[in-house]
Amino acid sequence: MGPERHFLSISVRRHQHGFFLSQAQYTEDILQRAGIEHCNVVATLADTKPKPSTSDGKLIDDAASYRSIAGALQYLTLTRPDIAYAVQQVCLHMHAPRDMHQTMLKRVLRYIKGTLTLGVQLRAAPMPTITAYSDADWAG
Q: What residue spans define the domains of the chain? A: 6-123
* Confidence band for 138, pLDDT divided at 50, 70 and 90: low
User: How does pLDDT run across 6-64, given as a tens digit for each residue?
Assistant: 788 888 888 888 889 999 999 999 999 999 988 899 988 877 666 777 777 898 899 99
Which range has the worst mean pLDDT, 77-81, 121-125, 133-137?
Answer: 133-137
Query: Could you tell me the pTM of the whole model?
Result: 0.82
3-state secondary structure the chain: CCCCCEECCEEEEEECCEEEEECHHHHHHHHHHHCCCCCCCCCCCCCCCCCCCCCCCCECCCHHHHHHHHHHHHHHCCCCHHHHHHHHHHHCCCCCCEHHHHHHHHHHHHHHHHCCCCEEEEECCCCCCCCCCCCCCCCC
The pLDDT value given to residue 127: 81
- The tens digit of pLDDT for each residue in 85-102 reads 899 989 998 999 999 999
